[in-house]
Structure 1
Amino acid sequence: MTEKKFRNPDVVLDIHDRPQGLKWLGLSLQHLFTMFGATVLVPILVGINPGIALFSSGLGTLVYLFVTKGKIPAYLGSSFAFIAAMQMLMKEQGYPAIALGALTTGIVYLIVSLIVKRSGSGWLDRLLPPIVVGPVVMVIGLGLAANAANQAMFETLANGQELYNVKYIAVALITLALTIFFNMYLKGFLGLIPILLGIVCGYLIGLLFGIVDTQPILDAPWFALPDFQTPFITYQPKFYLTAVLTMAPIAFVTMTEHIGHLMVLNKLTKRNFYENPGLHKTLMGDGLAQIVAGLVGGPPVTSYGENIGVLAITRVHSVFVIGGAATLAMVLGFVGKLTAIIQSIPGPVIAGISFILFGVIASSGLKILIDNQIDFNQKRNLLIASVILVVGIGGLTFQAGPVAVSGMALAALFGIVLNVVLPQKAKSEEE
């Protein structure tokens, strides 16, 4: 059976199903709002124009969809893995160094994609079996749990101090409860957009609780051209060895995340994207998206687990919905008022939604273990899963100069090594 003829019977809209009119707009807005907070947070922390990040994430996503032939419903947003490196480069060498670093990471992806194309992807099954993949996917979701909890509890004051705020918790929990209600009890079109409805209602609750700052919305212009920092136009690029040595290794960290997200999408969509369109295509799409993002002045992009969570909850897997969200993001980069409105969504609202989205990702990892009937009576399996979960969720970090490997990437590395070196049975199990 060819991939074109196959349709997942468990979904509302499959990969190539195209929604119409307002339904399409609503579903795309849901993905847009879901990725917005994280996508603009990265440039804010680094010192890059958020409008550029929105535009580059949308453009990068469209590039990814084009390269993968519209077969994978993945949204690409600003990558958190590069924040520390970009902050250091911005402080010491300025934005041109970050742009070179972003181009370098994309080139690393392209090189690896060519290697995979020549050698095939069968090695992935040996390198990343379910006992490694399942816990790593769980870490992807659970590793962000503390961030969601902190957003729900603490208000950040002007001096940077974090203050415990009962209003924040109330707004987060009300948002969570409403989103669960919408997901379980609404039918028809409204039943397809529980996340969007949760964000809108959470925003209104935030207004009632007085935690939404509306002044930036009033001050923002309707039209605002992002400050594109384009090579050969805004500045003359030069070679920054520090940028290359700092950001290139981190590309392998985000590749691990890329592969983990792809595994979750395989399970959700009941397809094998390693074979069709092929892992080399997905890596190439991600790499070209990073290069395009760097050329327009944005940070490196990567696939977003939050949006995968939306796919799982709504059972809407249409690439047309993802493409619509990407187009809206590009347009939004030029609309100052709308950008300000979305930027004003309070942290507790995002936290309430994240409790569900991050949990869905973690549950997908658990489902991988269950579906493959992993036997935890075997010491080998128990040890591999234990180390991955504690290292990843605990945030263990290995740092050498400006390069730091931590959390999910380090957990995945430990899992791969243990899977290779540990025997199938412990000595005590052979007796």
Structure 2
Amino acid sequence: MAAKPNNAIYDLHDKPPFFTWLGLSLQHLFSMFGATVLVPLLVGLNPGVALFTSGIGTLLHLLITRGKVPAYMGSSFAFIVPMAALMKTIGYPAVAQGIIAVGLVYLIVAVVINFTGTHWIDRLFPAEVVGPIIMVIGLSLAGSAASSATMLNGHYDWKIFVVALITLLGTIAFNMFLKGFLGLLPVLLGIVFGYIVAMLFGLVDLSPVAAAHWFQLPNYATFIGHDGFHFYPGAVLSMAPLALVTLSEHLGHLMVLSKITGHDFFENPGLERTLAGDGTASVVAGLVGGPAVTSYGENIGVMQLSRVYSVWVIGGAAFFAVVFSFIGKLSALISTIPGAVTGGVGFMLYGVIAAAGLQVIVDNKVDYSKKRNLMIAAPVLVVGIGNFHLQLGAQMDFSGVAIATLLGIILNLVLPKVAASEQ
């Protein structure tokens, strides 16, 4: 198989053979499943609906971006605090209205960009800003992976550590020593291998699979309550502003995708389309009972490792997500993958995102002997990785990644090209 100029095995519009396609799509499904169902479990929503909306949202995103962006849409962690608070005090109708408002903010920004253009992107995000931000996106997840890979029910457990380490080493070995069809599935094989090891250590509980029905309709909900429609402005005001924060994460993920695939998605299909796809996916999620959605770093990591960027593969994963949301036993089986396994694989997936940011710095020859570049990168890295977040009240929490992105943009705009001591 001849390699593409961007070193892709399957590029954006390449359609793999059926069984290869099947394996690659399942690899993406398993990689995002844990995080996508974790959000509704933390908030009190239905995991089956979240799986359904992640698949539908991804298909809508592919449709709106004209099949040009291989992004998978999963449950967003950015809105957990306000969603959980609203579920406890009011119920899902309020949450739904907040999620729909989030999607509408994305759509409004997309319309604005459609008229103003995207040339300002290059000014806001030069390599000295993009590189550190991409690194932060990957490394900010390191703590989550480490916690999953060491903790069981809130306590340290050496078995979790061992399983996670074996899973990581297995994933590395599959990446390095397999070729052909199996060489395209290192993450999927790592998850399966880790799952088997976890079973040997007694960390897998199959009782949810036995209890689940083969066919199980997701528990859909709407923004209309049992007693009719009521507007909840507080829900909208608590969630809509957070969309301005997750916009920065959207930009970061799009930068990573552009870097690893060699395609400039800011130009084609354009930021206005990617934002419209993201916003539409969240609106639909709010209409049927799911959480707000966003593009997933886990799936970006899978693409970086496999060098498979095909939108057909992402579409296949979305299709399986929709199908699996109706097959109770399959959903239950995937949900039994322990944190030790996802954490072990996460060490690899999150690390390759960070490495993509490092590659941006190297390729653009960013000189860190210059104080300006150093003064941008240093605080961005520490603020983002350390999750220096801003919490306003009980319902608004601006993540360290968002603060780091905003800080990088501001420093790039206000700092002089040359420090006074260097003149």
Q: Same fold (TM over 0.5)?
A: yes
CA distance, structure 2, for counterparts of residue 176 and residue 18 of structure 1: 29
CA distance, structure 1, for counterparts of residue 414 and residue 170 of structure 2: 47
CA distance, structure 2, for counterparts of residue 11 and residue 427 of structure 1: 45
CA distance, structure 1, for counterparts of residue 4 and residue 269 of structure 2: 16
Counterpart in the other structure of 1:286: 278
Counterpart in the other structure of 1:270: 262
Report the CA distance between 1:128 and its aligned residue: 1.6
CA contact (8 A) 1:149 1:351 kept: yes
Q: Does 1:418 align with 2:411?
A: yes
SS of the residue aligned with 2:294? strand
Counterpart in the other structure of 2:301: 309
Q: Structure 1 pair 277/149, CA: closer, same or farther in 2 (3 Å)? A: same
Report the CA distance between 1:151 and its aligned residue: 0.9
Q: Structure 1 pair 379/235, CA: closer, same or farther in 2 (3 Å)? A: farther
Q: Structure 1 pair 241/204, CA: closer, same or farther in 2 (3 Å)? A: same
Counterpart in the other structure of 1:343: 335
Counterpart in the other structure of 2:195: 203
SS of the residue aligned with 2:155? strand
SS of the residue aligned with 2:149? helix
Counterpart in the other structure of 1:191: 183
Report the CA distance between 1:347 and its aligned residue: 0.5
Report the CA distance between 1:227 and its aligned residue: 0.4
1:96-144 deviation line (CA, Å, top 9, x unaligned): 0110011001100011001101110000111121111111111111001
Within the candidate set 383, 401, 404, 1:408 is matched to 401
Counterpart in the other structure of 1:92: 89
CA distance, structure 2, for counterparts of residue 408 and residue 188 of structure 1: 37
SS of the residue aligned with 2:333? helix
Report the CA distance between 1:281 and its aligned residue: 0.7
CA distance, structure 2, for counterparts of residue 407 and residue 141 of structure 1: 12
CA contact (8 A) 1:212 1:344 kept: yes
Counterpart in the other structure of 2:139: 142
Alignment RMSD:
1.3
SS of the residue aligned with 2:228? coil
Mapping 1:15-414, distance limit 5 Å: 15-156=12-153, 162-231=154-223, 236-401=228-393, 402-414=395-407
CA contact (8 A) 1:96 1:235 kept: no
CA distance, structure 2, for counterparts of residue 281 and residue 234 of structure 1: 36
TM-score (norm 2): 0.97
Report the CA distance between 1:8 and its aligned residue: 3.9
Tell me the amino acid that sits aligned with residue 405 of structure 2.
A
CA contact (8 A) 1:97 1:240 kept: yes
1:362-389 deviation line (CA, Å, top 9, x unaligned): 1111111111111101111101100101
CA distance, structure 1, for counterparts of residue 114 and residue 188 of structure 2: 39
CA distance, structure 2, for counterparts of residue 139 and residue 76 of structure 1: 20
CA contact (8 A) 1:103 1:295 kept: yes
1:222-278 deviation line (CA, Å, top 9, x unaligned): 111110003459673322111111111111111111111111111111111111111
CA distance, structure 1, for counterparts of residue 309 and residue 230 of structure 2: 42
CA distance, structure 1, for counterparts of residue 228 and residue 422 of structure 2: 64
Could you tell me which runs of 5 or more consecutive residues in structure 2 were left unpaired when the two chains were aligned. Answer: none
CA contact (8 A) 2:93 2:222 kept: no
Counterpart in the other structure of 1:159: none
